[in-house]
Amino acid sequence: DGGITQSPKYLFRKEGQNVTLSCEQNLNHDAMYWYRQDPGQGLRLIYYSQIVNDFQKGDIAEGYSVSREKKESFPLTVTSAQKNPTAFYLCASSIEGPGDANTGELFFGEGSRLTVL
């Protein structure tokens, strides 16, 4: 089955620790995204990547880092610099990047819920 796999589904972190969320896709999509979802708020873009070895900051990139060494993989690291990391994190992909047509159709993973203890 083609799709996006996020892991882990649940993650607990102590303050001051970095954690990495995994995102893998087998849809052969060029673009990948990380969103953060908080209760009562819309999805907010953290980072996106349109091509291997290139990525762009979204609206709330501070305290996060990403890499795109392979087309299939786009891991997100939540660093200790992120002031309020407890949230639901969603990885998504699209056929082309956000500057191209027909790219609002995103395919999302099941999400990773991060809780800071």
Residues binding other proteins (CB under 8 A):
4, 6, 40-45, 48, 58-59, 90, 92, 97-111, 113
Rounded-to-integer distance, Cα 43 and Cα 2, Å: 24
Find the shortest distance in angstroms from Cβ 93 to other proteins. 11
Find the shortest distance in angstroms from Cβ 56 to other proteins. 9
Rounded-to-integer distance, Cα 98 and Cα 90, Å: 17
Find the shortest distance in angstroms from Cβ 90 to other proteins. 5
**Which lies closer to other proteins via its Cβ, residue 75 or residue 80?**
75
**Which lies closer to other proteins via its Cβ, residue 80 or residue 111?**
111
Contact 68, 53 (CB under 8 A): yes
Contact 19, 11 (CB under 8 A): yes
